[in-house]
């Protein structure tokens, strides 16, 4: 994201998502419910849209999309 010039927008992203993934990159279901994780990411996207003057509603469907598609792949 830094190479795209978005680094300033995501300064706290790593801290907010810390602990969501193990050393192997797999999501840690025993520490965090996936639905809570997806909800947090959607809130971050909406916050970014507000700061950038973008369409907050565009990020609003993120959670539904991810949950619908992850349920189809399990």
Tell me the whole-structure pTM to 2 decimals: 0.65
11 located within any domain: no
In this prediction, residue 53 carries a pLDDT of 77
**Residue 58 domain-assigned?**
yes
Domain that holds residue 56: 30-73
SS3 45: helix
Asked if residue 54 belongs to a domain, the reply is yes
At 11-33, the pLDDT tens digits run: 666 666 777 888 888 888 888 88
45 neighbors 28 (Cβ within 8 angstroms)? no
Q: Positive or negative, the Cα torsion across 19, 30, 40, 74?
A: positive
């Amino acid at each position: 994201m830094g190479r795209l010039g978005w680094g300033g927008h995501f300064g706290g992203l790593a801290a907010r998502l810390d602990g969501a993934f193990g050393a192997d990159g797999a999501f840690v279901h025993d520490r965090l419910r996936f639905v809570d994780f997806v909800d947090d990411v959607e809130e971050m996207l909406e916050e970014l849209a507000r700061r950038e003057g973008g369409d907050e509603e565009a990020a609003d469907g993120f959670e539904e999309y991810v949950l619908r598609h992850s349920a189809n792949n399990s």
